[in-house]
Amino acid sequence: MLSSRLRQFGEKRQLPALRMVASFELAKGLVVLLAAVGLLSLAHRDVWDVSAALLRLLHIHHTNHYWDVFLKLANRAKDQKLWLVAVGCVLYSSLRFVESYGLWGARPWAEWMAFISGAFYLPFELYELARRVTAIRAAILAANVAIVLYMLFLRLQAREQRRRAKV
């Protein structure tokens, strides 16, 4: 009886951290979903003109290297590609929403999902940080490492609790 109360206390202490990660995943899903809506709003429009206007709005000068790169990509964007990328964005955001829902409810499958998806991004984040160190890249890597380690901790803790319950 005492051990079950201790376990409940430990689970209650974990819930705020899990919900913070769930909120982060929800925010990522919303951002990508908004990007999909933005892409679809470009369908049947001159993507090059919209892109040039966006670059001017962001005060990126036409002599900047990114101006050319961005406009070359925009020039190749066709309605079919926009729809395909938008569908990919919707699928990705759906995955983030499912993960967020599961983490909010402290579901073990969602903890595994967060661990695996977070660990998947680590090599890419390390590569980007090695290419060019910035505070944003370092912060993203640190946050992702913290989430991956926390999810691993939760799953190992649950395994230990199951082992103790069998004894």
pLDDT per position as a tens digit, 56-89: 777 776 676 666 676 676 666 666 777 888 899 9
Instruction: Concatenate the DSSP letters of all residues of 95-121 into one string.
Output: HHHHHHHHHHTT-HHHHHHHHHHHHHH
Give the model's pLDDT for residue 124: 94
The reply to whether 49 falls in a domain is no
Domain membership of residue 130 (yes or no) is yes
Question: pLDDT for 21-30, tens place per residue?
Answer: 999 999 999 9
Contact 82/38 with Cβ under 8 angstroms? Answer: no
> What is the pLDDT averaged over residues 7-29?
81
Domain ranges, residue 22:
2-42+77-166
Integer Rg of the chain from CA: 21
Q: What average pLDDT does the segment 149-167 reach?
A: 91
Count of the separate structural domains present in the chain? 1
> Could you tell me if residue 124 is inside a domain?
yes
Residue 6 in this model has a pLDDT that exceeds 60:
no
Q: Which of 4-13, 18-27, 151-160 has the lowest mean pLDDT?
A: 4-13
